Structure 1
Amino acid sequence: MTATSRQTSGKLAEDFSLRHLQAHGLRLLCRNWSCRSGELDLVMLDGDTVVFVEVRYRRHAAWGGALESVDLRKQQKLIKAAQLFLLKENRWARHPCRFDVVAIGATDGDAKPSWIRNAFDS
């Protein structure tokens, strides 16, 4: 798979995840927020809770599932990026926060989201 097709797949997975989360009442605050520590795919609001959402798509489970790809190193990068987000966007700093993962794996041609709330602690 080329870098361009990976980017396209990633964008489609983020679009799909965004619609799924919005259908469950979450509100988008920011998308693809970047800093020196990495990128936050989706930053959303669930009630008064700021939710940092990592979207993972895996075409094949042979290399490990989407959820398993959010290892300790990735979690640490997300936590650091979230801390920088809260410093820069300080109006959200006093809100409770959590980290969710939306894992999407292709099964029989249909993408099926698995939304894991509180996927890990900061």
Structure 2
Amino acid sequence: MKGADAEDRAEAHLGTLGRVIVARNYRIPGGEIDLVSREADGTLVFTEVRQRRGARFGSAAESVTARKLTLMQRAALAYLTRELGRDDLPCRLEVLTIDGSAAAGVLAVHPVE
């Protein structure tokens, strides 16, 4: 799988932040969440992982479009309602980027406003 190495690194990084991964590659028609994690306080975090080996076509962060964020929100809402039975739980969206190789590139976490 093309993004599996980047997702593995992202998962390891989120673990160092004290998060527990509760789902990976959660899919619905028209949307996907790469990683769903839970913080110590119970907050769910829906993470899109983006990696770019080079900057020829822009950075990893620049590859996230408004449409992708909309689809991500839709998938997060579906996860809350279908998997947990409610949509009022504390949660947030973020994008984790890796610029460079999956193993050694620069990693950054960007909250989605």
TM-score (norm 2): 0.89
TM-score (norm 1): 0.83
Stretches of structure 1 that go unaligned for 5 or more consecutive residues are 1-6
The change in CA–CA distance for 1:114 and 1:92 in structure 2 (over 3 A counts) is farther
Question: How far apart are the structure 1 equivalents of 2:85 and 2:106?
Answer: 34
- Listed one character per residue, the Cα deviations across residues 25-83 of structure 1 (whole Å, up to 9, x for unaligned) are 01111001111122110000112111000000001111011111111111000001111
The structure where helix makes up a greater share of residues is: 1
Considering Cα pairs closer than 8 Å and 6+ residues apart, tell me whether 1 or 2 has the greater RCO.
2
Is 12-21 or 57-66 further displaced after alignment? 57-66
**Quick one: which amino acid aligns to residue 17 of structure 1?**
A
Name the Cα RMSD after superposition: 1.7
Aligned length: 111
Residue identity (%): 35
1:64 to 40, 54, 58: 58
| Shift >6 Å, 4+ stretches | none
The structure where strand makes up a greater share of residues is: 1
- What's 2:13 paired with? 20
SS in structure 2 opposite 1:61? coil
